[in-house]
Amino acid sequence: MGIENMKMPQLGESVTEGTISKWLVSPGDTVNKYDPIAEVQTDKVNAEVPSSFTGTIKELIAEEGDTLEVGEIICSIEIEGGGSAPVEEAPKEAPKQAENESTAPKTKAPSKDSGNKARYSPAVLKLSQEHDIDLNQVEGTGNGGRITRKDLKKIIESGSIPKAGDAPVPKAETPAPQQAPVEDAAPAQPAKPSAPAANVPVVPGDIEIPVSGIRKAIASNMVRSKHEAPHAWTMMEVDVTNLVDYRNSLKTEFKQREGYNLTFFAFFVKAVAQALKEYPQINSMWAGDKIVQKKDINLSIAVATDDALYVPVIKNADEKTIKGIAREITELAGKVRSGKLTSQDMQGGTFTVNNTGSFGSVQSMGIINYPQAAILQVESIVKRPVVMNNGMIAVRDMVNLCMSLDHRVLDGLVCGRFLQRVKEILENTSKENTSLY
């Protein structure tokens, strides 16, 4: 018998942490290798984490709601026939913790303990702030002395809440070199989530909503994009009357034959992919000392849920038909809303097309999906009176295309020509000129 530790896996090329959203196992459960043991939420995707071993779940070290860095231990598994060095090390420490949990952290390496206790999960931080608990005075029972939500709940239920300045832990118990990192790190970590609240008075009736891992990631990426990329903006209106008539004449038959909807958005995505092939400068990224013009045209499409925004990717969109794009849009949107989107579905995007018109927007300025060089907002199609070339006024189906660009990479001239080409393709979309297949 031996003990193996399961660690937070890296679920994407730029993912650095994950949040345990749901445990699928409990201590004592038997699992096989590759069985799913937990649902983990990252800034890119929700995914099931498979077990790396066959054995019995010994301890769930992370709790639901805890955010851990990639490589941190999430649970331990008791396996048969453990003979390797790492497996033998784990049981040696496990009995020590079982004999005396309160003294176990003190017997370990001081620097490791201090580092672990200074990293608090969002759930622990929230509870400590709500009940004014001084985390420096709490002895954690988690891995490496980590403070868990259960530790705080026990303190709250007991009514003996340690406050700052109330009976502090004597410094004599811990040598000065150990204590200094803890005192330095502990205030710095809680300051990040509590800083905004300092400027926002909370009164009875207000609702405080914890910031999820995905919301933090969206915020971080948006701030980075706005800070690093000098955004410029341009808009063009397009007459899509012929496109609307063509699509409406086909939508019922298409749905019956193919089993999914032929959306207007599929026509826009196809037009963008075709224009990107003709204006490859737009399909570029800023890389510090160089601009990387991408060979593949992989279009990111924004798909929103009630509380988050995901950006799955249609790979090689220029090689796909309108029908193929419509099917892929349906499949990716379905994956987002069912929580089955994978990290692979999110990777490799070179340009983003955002269907802001789906909720009625007629004009918007998108923030670029870093490190891409541009994003195109497809607004709502609306009927408007338009002066035609012959001077007559007619009611036409009009749509605004709004493009944000990174002015380090792109200039207005090439973006104007790109939008003109997209406009030309869309305005010439008709039964006579356009094939779905």
Query: Is-catalytic flag, 411?
Result: yes
pLDDT in tens, 134-185: 888 888 776 567 787 777 878 887 777 776 665 543 433 333 333 333 333 3
Task: Enter the CATH code of domain 2-196.
Answer: 2.40.50.100
Query: Is-catalytic flag, 296?
Result: no
CB 51 within 8 Å of CB 22: no
CA distance 49 to 57: 14
User: Which contiguous run of DSSP H or E holds residue 212?
Assistant: none
Each residue's pLDDT expressed in tens, for the chain with a length of 437 residues: 688 999 988 876 667 788 888 899 999 999 998 888 998 887 667 778 889 899 999 999 998 888 888 889 999 999 876 543 343 333 334 344 434 444 334 333 334 344 443 556 666 776 777 777 888 888 877 656 778 777 787 888 777 777 666 554 343 333 333 333 333 333 333 333 333 444 788 899 999 888 877 777 788 888 989 999 999 999 999 999 999 999 999 999 999 999 999 999 999 999 999 999 999 999 999 998 999 999 999 999 988 887 778 899 999 999 999 999 999 999 999 998 888 888 889 889 999 999 999 999 999 999 999 999 999 999 999 999 999 999 999 999 999 999 999 999 999 999 999 999 999 999 999 999 999 99
User: Which contiguous run of DSSP H or E holds residue 57?
Assistant: strand 55-60
CA distance 129 to 120: 12
Q: Positive or negative, the Cα torsion across 327, 345, 349, 228?
A: positive
CB 370 within 8 Å of CB 393: no
| DSSP structure string for 57-83 | EEEE-SPTT-EEETT-EEEEEEETT--
| pLDDT reported for residue 173 | 38
Phi, psi of 378 (to 5 degrees): -95, 110
| pLDDT reported for residue 112 | 39
Cα–Cα separations (whole angstroms), residue 99 to 95, 105, 218, 269: 6, 12, 44, 63
Q: What is the DSSP letter of 162?
A: P
| pLDDT reported for residue 18 | 85
| pLDDT reported for residue 167 | 53
| pLDDT reported for residue 119 | 56
| pLDDT reported for residue 339 | 81
| pLDDT reported for residue 164 | 64
| pLDDT reported for residue 96 | 40
Task: Enter the CATH code of domain 217-427.
Answer: 3.30.559.10
Same fold, 2-196 and 217-427: no
Q: Indicate the domain borders of the chain.
A: 2-196, 217-427
Phi, psi of 72 (to 5 degrees): -75, 150
Q: Which of 132, 166, 184, 411 is catalytic?
A: 411
Paired tokens of 130:
């709500």
Q: Is the pTM of this model over 0.75?
A: no
